[in-house]
């Protein structure tokens, strides 16, 4: 229950901010309507073309929409004329445009749209609150040239850092994964696409202040190209993962392993890896290795009963692991994935962390399948008894912590 409190608090804060802003804007009217409409269209287009896939390097799914939202929050002038929109109008325009642009994604069931909107509202609200009241009261009147540009960039960097905290808190609440590694992964993305969004948002605000709304399409082009590259990268990653998953199913189709075994081991391995603080690239290697950890059994003349390799002699386990590594290398997968598959049966002090995790989770999956009633507790106890030589103690304890969390969901055997 405690892990859901940040989720509820963030959703409530975003909903209150959006509701109050919309009501205030409806009551007072929209200032500089052409400017509000132009930025609204820009944000809506950015949402329409956002990348529906998330993952390493893809934290910012809608860079154009985000840059446009932050730019509007930092807008103080339009073509040399002071603007008079405030915090409420900024949030209201961003909320309306983001919702409009998200309709097709909601209709297709491409999420998580709600968390994305919560992050957008809170980030824009934070930026507008930091900038608009001070600007309208003349605090920045004496700031000009490079100093003013650096001020905008500093505000945007602070916004991105706060957004990383919000994103990590949302992910922690939904998945029960440890907060610190999630925050670290969010911060690792800031120097990449995050810096491009910050720079574009600041430049847009400065350019509109000088030349007007014609600056918006001009400075949107770089982010549109970035968006296209992100979509292609996401498509390549999705295709590659589907290929790995199809290869992993070969052992199931051939009758060497039970249906869904590889997917369950991969999902649970990733959860354990998260608990141990692995980075996103390390988790990707772990997922691919876990999916293909049994692929060496395809080289056997006689299948292992139920694919239960954990009960075999160590020499036979190592032979199957080496066969699996050889197959993985022929598939074009990375050398890191092949190494994890090859070393999953080595003594745990000599294994990389990913191999330790795959070994423990695979053994747990096999033991819990055969243990009957009370299977999880029995399997964990057997693993703890084997921590003296076979299984890494820290991995077994991480597995116990993961299994104790209510929000853990694993693929079924179907």
- The share of the chain scoring above pLDDT 90, in percent, equals 29
Tell me the pLDDT band of 129, cut-offs 50, 70 and 90: very high
395 domain-assigned = yes
Tell me the pLDDT band of 121, cut-offs 50, 70 and 90: very high
Q: What's the whole-model pTM score?
A: 0.79
Count of alpha carbons within 13 angstroms of residue 316, beta-carbon side: 12
Q: Last residue of some domain: 181, 216, 238? A: 238
Peptide bond into 59 cis (omega under 30): no
20 pLDDT higher than 60? yes
Domain match, 206 and 81 both: yes
Most confident of 27-31, 279-283, 389-393: 27-31
Domain match, 232 and 255 both: no
Residue 169 tokens, joined: 């808190």
Q: Pick the closest to residue 247 from 281, 290, 217, 216 (CA basis).
A: 290
411 domain-assigned = no
Taking only Cα atoms into account, the Rg of the chain, rounded to an integer number of angstroms, comes to 26
Partners of 82 in beta bridges: 77
Alpha-carbon gap, residue 121 to 297, rounded angstroms: 51
**Over the stretch 287-322, which tens digit does the pLDDT of each residue have?**
999 999 888 888 777 777 766 777 778 888 888 888
Beta strands in 228-320 (DSSP E): none
374 pLDDT higher than 80? no
Q: Pick the closest to residue 273 from 264, 286, 291, 260 (CA basis).
A: 286
Domain match, 106 and 229 both: yes
Q: Last residue of some domain: 238, 271, 294? A: 238
What pLDDT is stored for residue 111 in this prediction? 57
Write the secondary structure of 329-369 as one string of H (helix), E (strand) and C (coil).
HHCCCCHHHHHHHHCCCCCHHHCCHHHHHHHHHHHHHHHHH
Q: Supply the CATH number for residue 391's domain.
A: 1.10.3210.10
Most confident of 47-56, 134-143, 160-169, 240-249: 160-169
Domain match, 222 and 288 both: no
65 pLDDT higher than 50? yes
Alpha-carbon gap, residue 59 to 127, rounded angstroms: 19
Domain match, 53 and 131 both: yes
Backbone CA torsion sign across 185, 187, 188, 194: positive
325 domain-assigned = yes
414 domain-assigned = no
93 pLDDT higher than 90? yes
Domain match, 259 and 215 both: no
Domain match, 99 and 35 both: yes
57 pLDDT higher than 50? no
CA dihedral 87, 89, 94, 97 (to 10 degrees): 180
58 pLDDT higher than 60? no
Alpha-carbon gap, residue 309 to 325, rounded angstroms: 15
Domain match, 234 and 263 both: no
Looking at every residue in the chain, the average pLDDT score rounds to 84
Q: Last residue of some domain: 238, 259, 292? A: 238
Domain match, 139 and 72 both: yes
Point out the least confidently predicted range of 15-19, 121-125, 145-149: 145-149
Residue 43 tokens, joined: 């944000």
CA dihedral 404, 405, 407, 411 (to 10 degrees): -40
Residue 86 three-state SS: coil
**Over the stretch 199-257, which tens digit does the pLDDT of each residue have?**
888 899 999 999 899 999 998 888 888 778 877 877 888 888 888 888 888 888 887 88
413 domain-assigned = no
286 pLDDT higher than 90? yes
33 pLDDT higher than 90? yes
Domain that holds residue 282: 249-403
Give the chain's domain count. 2
């Amino acid at each position: 229950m405690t892990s859901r409190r940040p989720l509820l608090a963030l959703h409530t804060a975003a909903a209150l901010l959006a509701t109050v802003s919309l009501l205030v804007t409806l009551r007072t009217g929209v200032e500089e309507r052409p400017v509000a409409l132009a930025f609204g269209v820009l944000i809506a287009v950015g949402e329409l073309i956002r990348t529906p896939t998330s993952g390493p390097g893809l934290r910012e799914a809608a860079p154009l929409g985000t840059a446009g939202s932050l730019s509007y929050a930092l807008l103080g002038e339009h073509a040399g004329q002071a603007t008079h929109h405030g915090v409420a109008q900024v949030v209201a325009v961003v909320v309306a445009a983001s919702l409009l642009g998200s309709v097709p994604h909601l209709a297709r069931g491409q999420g998580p749209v709600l968390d994305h909107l919560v992050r957008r509202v809170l980030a824009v609200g934070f930026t507008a609150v930091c900038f608009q009241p001070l600007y309208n009261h003349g605090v920045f009147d004496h700031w000009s040239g490079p100093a003013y540009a650096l001020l905008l960039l500093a505000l945007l960097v602070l916004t991105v850092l706060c957004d990383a905290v919000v994103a990590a808190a949302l992910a922690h609440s939904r998945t029960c994964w440890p907060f610190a590694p999630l925050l670290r992964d969010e911060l690792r993305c800031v120097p990449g696409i995050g810096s491009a969004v910050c720079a574009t948002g600041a430049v847009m605000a400065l350019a509109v202040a000088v030349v007007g709304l014609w600056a918006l399409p001009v400075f949107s082009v770089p982010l549109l190209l970035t968006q296209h590259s992100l979509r292609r990268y996401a498509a390549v990653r999705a295709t590659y993962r589907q290929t790995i998953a199809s290869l992993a199913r070969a052992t199931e189709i051939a009758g060497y392993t039970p249906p869904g075994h590889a997917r369950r081991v991969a999902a649970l391995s990733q959860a354990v890896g998260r608990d141990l603080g692995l980075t996103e690239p390390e988790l990707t290697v772990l997922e691919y290795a876990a999916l293909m950890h049994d692929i060496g059994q395809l080289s056997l003349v006689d299948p292992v009963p139920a694919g239960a390799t954990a009960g075999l002699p160590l020499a036979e386990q190592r032979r199957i692991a080496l066969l699996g590594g050889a197959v993985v290398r022929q598939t074009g997968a990375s050398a890191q994935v092949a190494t994890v598959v090859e070393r999953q049966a080595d003594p745990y002090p000599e294994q990389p962390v990913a191999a330790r995790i795959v070994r423990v989770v695979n053994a747990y999956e096999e033991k819990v399948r055969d243990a009957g009633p009370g299977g999880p507790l029995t399997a964990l106890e057997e693993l703890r008894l084997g921590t003296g030589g076979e299984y890494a103690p820290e991995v077994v304890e991480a597995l116990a912590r993961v299994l104790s969390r209510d929000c853990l969901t694993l693929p079924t055997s179907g």
